[in-house]
Amino acid sequence: MADRVSVIALGGLGEIVPGTDLPALIADSLATMAEVLPLQDDDVIVVTQKVVSKSEGAIVDLTDVRPRPEAAEFARRYGRDARQIEVVLREAVRIVRMANGVLITETPHGFICANGGVDASNVGPASGSIVTLLPRDPDASATAIRAAVRDRLGRDVPVIVSDSFGRPWRLGIVDVAIGVSGLLPLDDLRGTLDADGREMRSTVRAVADEIASAAELALGKTTGRPVALVRGAEFTRGEARIRDALMPPDMDLFR
Amino acid sequence: MADRVSVIALGGLGEIVPGTDLPALIADSLATMAEVLPLQDDDVIVVTQKVVSKSEGAIVDLTDVRPRPEAAEFARRYGRDARQIEVVLREAVRIVRMANGVLITETPHGFICANGGVDASNVGPASGSIVTLLPRDPDASATAIRAAVRDRLGRDVPVIVSDSFGRPWRLGIVDVAIGVSGLLPLDDLRGTLDADGREMRSTVRAVADEIASAAELALGKTTGRPVALVRGAEFTRGEARIRDALMPPDMDLFR
């Protein structure tokens, strides 16, 4: 059990555009700092969604988007951008809630989140009409970064792609994992004993989400630093998909 | 902006029982380690709910509890402890969902969570029938700890009381803040500029929740260490209540 966890923000990667080899950039950045900060067995790399989406070209220029009447009406009523609403609806497999100016959808990945993860902030200078979508396959994005780091540095470091999500009953956003590679997003302690020898029946730690939140504390929202190393957290290595950490529809009490 | 955040688990505090002066114990523990680890201006103390509840006597012996028929029927159907269900219902101001073996209630504090925060794990040896309730006023609990540390060490360190919550659409639990003192639970960046000079309209960081989650990475679930120091996170000092960070009913789309 770790008694100390460190979150280290990596330096900026420079401008990321569609086609940027983000895995190589991250591997380079880690190689540069390897002398002062060599990778360890208990490291996890956290990369924020925005740079992943941009490098993969998961962006839409709103200039080309024609909103459907439903999007135009919702945007007019709540002072939002109808073209962005249209993009959210196009990306959605299901509308969960569309009320009070809030649009919550289910994405093809199974995520339920505000605006389907479509985001206009931090997209780049002189890009007033560009929004990012979620990466098509964030687990694959994480796996590509993990492979580049392994090839370059000879270490198999788990990778989390993170994004900011709201929560139904709490204000504000927290970063959670939207893609994983090399670690299990859930640390299942059911059946293990607590400090008093009592069985902990119901504890499944969402450790990838907690690592993503910890990374956000060092990366923040207003800087150009999209990658953090989280060192010393207790997690379990393994191959998994982030979908394994999402509530199955038959257990969802809030559809 | 922090480029490094550290989470340091404090040593165990020993057995906590009703009447234990937890604020004094925590101040003592910090004083003992002050020579090797002096407190800093960017420190936050995170204390897990269980020890706060136990020290405050927020516990119930299930032996004395007679379940109402509704609790007995739900428990029978889903293989749960009818007395614990009864305690949850007594503590609740509203039942949010009661289905599939899951009982989600709103507590008097305004929290919406599984089993109303009533918890049987990690309560102590030879206490098979004891459950903890949430502290009556977790902000006050945090304030008492903050005052004891200030009196003992001459430093005003913000305090978070944390607990593990599930989330509607994701499996597993993450630690969030259920009480705060000395820091704002929400870091409101709306109106500030992002790295590209674009206004970040919608970003309110739930920084107290992220600090609570980061602390959990060092404290874990199976050890007897209930206190962590989170150092270097970006937060805003101020007086607030955790209720300020809860979704107001008129904005709640998932009642």
Give, as one character, the DSSP assignment of residue B72. H
Q: How many residues does chain B have?
A: 255
Range in A155-159, A175-179, A181-185, A187-191 the model is least confident about: A187-191
Percentage, residues of chain A above pLDDT 70: 91
Element (H, E) at B167: strand B159-167
A193 contacts on B by Cβ (under 8 Å):
222
Range in A141-155, B117-131, B173-187, B206-220 the model is least confident about: B117-131
* B201 CB within 8 Å of a chain A CB: yes
Whether B220 and A2 lie within 8 Å, measured CB to CB: yes
Whether B125 and A206 lie within 8 Å, measured CB to CB: no
Spacing of C-alpha B75 from chain mean position: 26
Q: What global pTM score does this model have? A: 0.95
Do A174 and A218 contact (CB within 8 A), yes or no? no
Range in A100-114, B87-101, B219-233 the model is least confident about: B219-233
Range in A79-83, B10-14, B214-218 the model is least confident about: B10-14
Tokens linked to B129: 């029938």
A169 contacts on B by Cβ (under 8 Å):
111-112, 246-247, 252, 254
* A15 CB within 8 Å of a chain B CB: no
Do A64 and A84 contact (CB within 8 A), yes or no? no
Element (H, E) at B44: strand B43-48
CA dihedral (A73, A75, A81, A84) in degrees, to 10, reads -80
Do A7 and A215 contact (CB within 8 A), yes or no? yes
Give, as one character, the DSSP assignment of residue B232. S
SS3 category, B18: coil
Percentage, residues of chain A above pLDDT 90: 81
pLDDT tens digits, A13-42: 999 999 999 999 999 999 998 888 899 999
A99 contacts on B by Cβ (under 8 Å):
253
Whether B1 has a pLDDT exceeding 50, the answer reads no
Whether A127 has a pLDDT exceeding 60, the answer reads no
Whether B185 and A164 lie within 8 Å, measured CB to CB: no
Residue of B194, B204, B218 with shortest CB distance to A173: B204
A162 contacts on B by Cβ (under 8 Å):
none
Which residue would you say has higher pLDDT here, B34 or A152? A152
Tokens linked to B243: 């209720």
Q: C-alpha distances in angstroms, B54 versus B18, B48, B215, B227?
A: 5, 11, 20, 14
SS3 category, B166: strand
Q: What is the pLDDT of residue A220?
A: 79
* A66 CB within 8 Å of a chain B CB: no
Residue of B9, B206, B245 with shortest CB distance to A3: B9
* A36 CB within 8 Å of a chain B CB: no
Spacing of C-alpha A226 from chain mean position: 11
Split at pLDDT 50, 70, 90, the class of B224 is confident
Q: From the candidates A167, A219, A246, which should be mutated to test the interface with B, based on the most B CB atoms within 10 A?
A: A167
* B147 CB within 8 Å of a chain A CB: no
List the Cα angle A245/A198/A211 in 5-degree steps. Answer: 30
Range in A125-134, A195-204, B43-52, B243-252 the model is least confident about: A195-204
Residue of B174, B203, B211 with shortest CB distance to A221: B203
Instruction: Using the CB atoms, write b or e for B48-58: b if 16+ within 10 Å.
Output: bbbbbbbbbeb
pLDDT tens digits, B180-218: 999 999 998 777 766 666 655 568 999 999 999 999 999
Residue of B99, B176, B200 with shortest CB distance to A221: B200
B120 contacts on A by Cβ (under 8 Å):
198
Whether B171 has a pLDDT exceeding 60, the answer reads yes
Q: What is the pLDDT of residue A201?
A: 53
DSSP letters for chain A: --SEEEEEEPPP-----TT--HHHHHHHHHHHTTTTS---TTEEEEEEHHHHHHHTT-EEEGGG----HHHHHHHHHHT--HHHHHHHHHH-SEEEEEETTEEEEE-TTS-EEEGGG-B-TTS-TT-TTEEEPPPS-HHHHHHHHHHHHHHHHS----EEEEEEEEETTEEEEEEEEEEEESB-S-EE-TTSB-TTS-B-TT-EE-HHHHHHHHHHHHH-SSSS--EEEEES----B----GGGGBPPGGG-S--
Residue of A175, A204, A214 with shortest CB distance to B217: A214
Region of A100 (left: φ > 0; alpha: ψ -120 to 50; beta: rest) is left
Q: Please choose, from the candidates A194, A177, A189, the residue with its C-alpha nearest in 3D space to the C-alpha of residue A240.
A: A177
Q: How many CB pairs under 8 A join A and B?
A: 258
List the Cα angle A188/A113/B89 in 5-degree steps. Answer: 60
Domains observed in chain A: 19-58+135-246 (3.30.1330.100), 59-131 (3.90.1660.10)
**What average pLDDT does range A101-111 have in this prediction?**
97
**What average pLDDT does range B24-28 have in this prediction?**
97
List the Cα angle B230/A161/A82 in 5-degree steps. Answer: 110
Residue of B3, B168, B171 with shortest CB distance to A186: B171
What mean pLDDT, rounded, does chain A reach? 92
B78 contacts on A by Cβ (under 8 Å):
none
Residue of B3, B222, B230 with shortest CB distance to A9: B3
Percentage, residues of chain B above pLDDT 70: 91
* A89 CB within 8 Å of a chain B CB: no
Q: Which residues, in sequence order, are CB contacts of B224 under 8 Å at separation 6+?
A: A195, B12
B121 contacts on A by Cβ (under 8 Å):
194, 198, 200-203
Shortest Cα–Cα distance, A155 to chain B (Å): 22
Q: What is the pLDDT of residue A1?
A: 42
Tell me the longest C-alpha to C-alpha distance in chain A. Answer: 61
Do A217 and B233 contact (CB within 8 A), yes or no? yes
* B80 CB within 8 Å of a chain A CB: no
Do A44 and A235 contact (CB within 8 A), yes or no? yes
Percentage, residues of chain B above pLDDT 90: 81
A187 contacts on B by Cβ (under 8 Å):
172
Question: Which pairing describes strands B159-167 and B43-48: parallel, antiparallel, or unpaired?
Answer: parallel
- For residues B26 and B143, give the distance between their C-alpha atoms in angstroms, rounded to a whole number: 13
